Each structure stands twice: as C-alpha cells, then as structure tokens.
Chain A
Amino acid sequence: MDVVKLQKLRQWRDNQAKKEGVDTYRVLNNQSLDEIAEKNVKTGEELLLVKGIKEKKLAKYGREILTIMNTENTNGDSNIPFGLINENTNTNRVLSEVVGQTNVTDKVFSVSVFLDLVNTGLRTFEVKIKGEVTSMDERGNVYYFNLKDKTDGSSISCLIWKNNYRLSGVELKEGIEVTIHGFPNVYKPSGRLSFQADTIELVGEGALKQQYEELKNKLEKEGLFSPERKKPIPMFLEKIGLITSRQGEAIFDVRNNLGKFGFQIKFFDSRVEGVQAVPSLLQAVRYFKDKDIDALVLVRGGGSLESLLSFNNEALVREIANFPKPVVSGIGHEQDVSLVDLVADRSCSTPTGVAKFLSYSWEQALARVLLGEKQIFGSFRRALLLSNNSLEKVSGLIKDNFRLLLSSFRDLSYRLKTNLSNLGHFLTTSRDHLKRSGVYLLGILSKMTNQTNLRLETLEKAILLNDPARQLKLGYSLLYTKEQLVRSINDVSQGEEITVQLQDGKLFSKVVSKKANSKI
C-alpha cells in the first residue's frame, strides 16, 4: 500500500470535512480510504467499486481523490493544496481521470456529459457567499432568488430546496442581506448557472436579533412556551439521550457532574455551531424520538446569538415541542435565552446545571434513605427502650406483688398453723373433758341408782307397813256395802247388809243399829 498516498487521502478528507463542517466519516470513512490506497485506484470506474462510494460521492469527490492517486509522490510533497486553486492539476488529465479514459483532448463530448463534467468540477466550489436578496420566486419544491453584490452590482441566481429553506428559519425578503452556503451548478436543460444553497442565514447581529424576537413572539403566541405544555420530568432518570458535540466542553461538563448513579447515556454527536447545525440537531432529535429513553438532553456551551442560531431555529424548536419524552436543555447563552431552552420541558442555564438537575433526585433519594434508616431504627430503638422500661416496671410490680402475696401467704399459713394447733389443743382438751365427763356421768348415774334403790327400799318398807293385809292381821277389818268401802256411819243405813273383810275371810252381816261417837 502506498502509505504516503493514504496519508494524503486522509489529509484531504480531514480538510474537506472541516470545509463542509461535517464529521470526517461523512466525507469518506477510513475503510474506504484504506481500500482506495490498497487497490491503488486510478480511475472513476475503479473508484465506484470501492465500498462506500457511489455516484454521488464520485461526483462530489472523485476528481480530488483521483488527483491524489494519480500524482506522483515527490520528496516533501505532503501538503498538496486542493480545492479551488490547484496548480498541479492538469484539467485534461483530471477530466480523463474522471471519465476513466487516458486521452480526452481529442474526445468529443456530448453536451450532457460535458455539463456533468463541469458540474463535477463546480461541486468543489462549495463556499459561503454573501449578498443582498433582489428577487424571489417559488416554484414547486424550490425557492429561486437572486443575490446581488452591493459593491458592484454583480449578481448570481440561487436556489434552495424548500426543505432546507424551512430549516434555515430565515424568511427571504427582497433587500435583506444573507449569507448562503452551497455550491454552483449548471442546470442542464437551460445551461444556466445557479448557486445551490443548503443554508441561509441573516447577516448582522441586528437582523439576527430581530429574527429571534419575531420568531419568539410568534411561537409564544402559539403557546409553545406555555407552562401547561411542559411535561413533568420524572424522578430517577436513568436512560438519557444526550445531544451535543463531541468536541465541545459541554459533554465533559455533563459527564463530570452527573454523579455515579448508573445513568445509561446514549450520546448522539451533533454539530452545534451556526445554522449548519440544524440538520444534524434535527437528525439527532428525530433519532431519539422512538428510542427507549427517559429524557432527552440537549446541551451546548455558551455562545453569541450567531453561533447559537441553530438553537433558535423554528424547525428544531417545533421538533422539540413535539418530542414524546421530556426534554431538558442547557444552552449557554450570552444574552437571550435560546428558543430551545424556552420550549424545553426544563432548561438549565449551563450543561453543568443540567447534569446536576439530572442527578438531583438520586442524591435526594440517597439522603432520604439515610434519613429514613435513621428515623426507623431510631424510633424502634426508642420503642424498645420504652418497652424495656415498662417491662422492668411491670416485672418490678410483679415481683412486689409476688412478695406481697408470699408474705401474706406466709402470714396465712402461720395463722393456719396456729389455728390448727389451737384446734388440736381444743380437741385434746375436749377429749380429756369427754373422758372426765364420762367418769363423772358414771358417778352420777351410780349415785342416782343407789339413791333410787334406797328410795325403793324405803318405799317398799312404807308399802309393807301400809299393807291392808298386815292391818287385817293386826285385827282390823274392812267394811263394804255393795257399792263402797264404809268409812262413816253415814255410809250405811240401818238394816243394810254389809260385808266384813277379815284376815282369813268375810262375814256377811246386817246393821242393827248405829250410834255416832260422842263428841269430845
């Protein structure tokens, strides 16, 4: 492989990218360059076989690539000037290289092929030009206008695709001064040269300021900046779509201030400078539209109104307004807040501010967990202490009560014992008493028996003494009438029969007479 040529190719590619304001791979990636050098490509046809190069790229870069490949290396020849002025280039040779034939001087071209060749050459005149808009016309998808040089009245017809025109955010009016970016091109049907612009921007701080104010008022009236439109930013964002430039400070500011909470950042490298950044920013925002992210973050370091043109672009503002997820922006600015900041759901004044905002809820959460931990365990420890205290109190109470119970038990048992021994004593006494009582009773009984016997004897004696039979024996007799014992003379009448009882029998007699005892 021709290393010098590869180096030259890369150098050219890097310059070209810088000139176009795009990433290097957008011109040609390293693989394609390697392949060109490896295969030592010399013709346009061969170039088309290289991966990553189609007709479009061939037309755009073919000439310059082939110039490099067909130029012999010389000592110290590491910095070949390319582009507008290339003294080393022989036009015929270049043409031959593009066409792929060695001899073009004698060749007759058709008009069409010739114009193609011319356009291929013109493609390298990719520049910015400045002038005053003099006339305007709208046809189909294209705006046509003339740009006039104020100093000498030179004029060039220009065109811009409506799409690019809209993206530019500039309203073309006769008399305004603009800078346009693009390249010249011959329109084949008419053979007329016109400048194909891809961006238009106003010239001068005053004009830019006015444009900014007008757009701001217009969008404000539409309610695009109203608080009701703003989506709430959820806490604990994790998946973040980040749009900014790989080269700027902003990306470092964001990454260094996010903290370490496991953010998953998908980074879309975008241009951020000037109006040329609009397509790139739009592409980035659109890319994230259907991606799994929690929020979209758009940041850029501070800059002047001119350098922040893309962040005041109507198309971009509308794209952000319609973004389905919350958008957080941090566009540093010198004077006016960018319209992107106004339309974003949340804006911070710097990229660092955005990073801090994103990590805020996480930091808060950490604080809340630590605090919660302290509170919960603290509360429980206090509760334990309290219950421990009350346990101690209760157990003290129980102990006291038990002691009381024990002592009263002791007391009771003592009393019981006393009572029992009393009872025993009583029982013994009672027994003795009973014993004694028995003897006594027996004594009384025998005494009583004796007395009775004595009495009976006396009575027997008395009975014996008074026995009528004994009286009868002594000679006394008993007189009975038929009815009764006769005790008085009045109990019988004269002549009445009476019975006389004697000891050995009866006498039956008759009262003869009666005489009462003389009174003494």
Chain B
Amino acid sequence: MTSKNNLNESLKELTEIVHWFDEQKEVDIEAGLDKVKEGAVLIKSCRQRLQVIENEFEEIQKQIDDSVGDL
C-alpha cells in the first residue's frame, strides 16, 4: 500500500487548498468550486486511509537455528 505517500501528498494538497481560500480576498465562485471539488476528493481519500483499520500483527517464524549464539 502506498497510501502513506498518498496520505502525505493529500494532506499537503489539502493544506494548500486551505491556504488558497485563506489568501483569496474575494473567492471566485467558479475557481472556489473547483477547489472544493478537489478538496472533497482529497478528504475522502484521506478519511478512507484514516478510518479505523485494524493493525496487522504477524510474528516472525524463526528458523530453528542454534548457530546464532555460537557464531
């Protein structure tokens, strides 16, 4: 899963959109709508990754190997 990078990227883009809105003195509705659409997609993907996902836990099966101690 590369969702980690996606998440990082998505968060960055999301922050950029927030900044964009902050910077506009007067929001152009059409451009704003595009940004909101973009933001909604990002939020959706972020939320998808950040929803409750059970952790996977796997124990390494060690080979029966006495040699380690005697190296």
Contact = CB atoms under 8 A, between A and B. Distances in A.
Interface of A: 25-26, 29, 52, 56, 161, 163-164, 198, 235-238, 246, 255, 258, 260-269, 279-280, 282-283, 287, 294, 362, 365-366, 368-369, 372-373, 375-377, 379-380, 382-384, 386-387
A369 B11 contact: yes
B50 A365 contact: yes
Contacts of A264: 55-56, 58
B4 to A, nearest CB: 4
B18 A260 contact: no
Contacts of B57: 255, 265, 267
Contacts of B50: 261, 362, 365-366, 369
Interface of B: 1, 3-4, 7-8, 11, 14-15, 17-18, 21-22, 24, 26-27, 29, 32-33, 35-36, 39, 43, 46-47, 49-50, 52-60, 62, 64, 66, 68-71
Nearest to B6: A236
Interface centre among B7, B60, B69, B71 (most CB of A within 10 A): B69
A397 B58 CA distance: 70
Nearest to A242: B57
B18 A25 contact: no
Given A380-B32, A382-B27, A383-B26, 10 more contacts: A29-B64, A261-B55, A262-B56, A263-B55, A280-B68, A282-B68, A369-B43, A372-B14, A372-B43, A376-B21
B29 A279 contact: no
Contact of A238 (B4, B11, B22): B4
Contacts of B54: 260, 262
A258 B57 CA distance: 12
A210 to B, nearest CB: 27
Given A375-B21, A376-B17, A376-B35, A369 B47 contact: yes
Contacts of A52: 64
B29 to A, nearest CB: 5
B9 to A, nearest CB: 11
Interface of B: prevailing SS? helix
Contacts, number: 131
A368 B15 contact: yes
Nearest to A384: B29
A114 B70 CA distance: 25
A267 B27 contact: no
Given A261-B50, A369-B43, A384-B29, A238 B59 contact: no
A269 B60 contact: yes
Contacts of B47: 369
B27 A386 contact: yes
A373 B11 contact: no
A279 B55 contact: no
Nearest to A54: B66
B32 A258 contact: no
Nearest to B52: A260
A238 B1 contact: yes
B31 to A, nearest CB: 10
Nearest to A22: B69
Given A287-B60, A365-B7, A387-B29, A379 B22 contact: yes
B2 to A, nearest CB: 10
A161 B43 CA distance: 59
A217 B38 CA distance: 55
8 contacts: A255-B57, A266-B60, A268-B59, A379-B32, A380-B32, A380-B33, A383-B26, A383-B27
Contacts of A369: 11, 14, 43, 46-47, 50
Contact of A261 (B18, B46, B53): B53
Given A198-B70, A266-B58, A26 B36 contact: no
Contacts of B29: 383-384, 387
B36 A25 contact: no
Contacts of A258: 55
Nearest to B36: A380
Nearest to B57: A265
B62 to A, nearest CB: 8
Interface centre among A261, A269, A386 (most CB of B within 10 A): A261
Contacts of A366: 50
Nearest to A278: B69
A260 B55 contact: yes
A224 B58 CA distance: 32
Nearest to B54: A260
Contacts of A56: 66
B1 to A, nearest CB: 7
Contacts of A362: 50
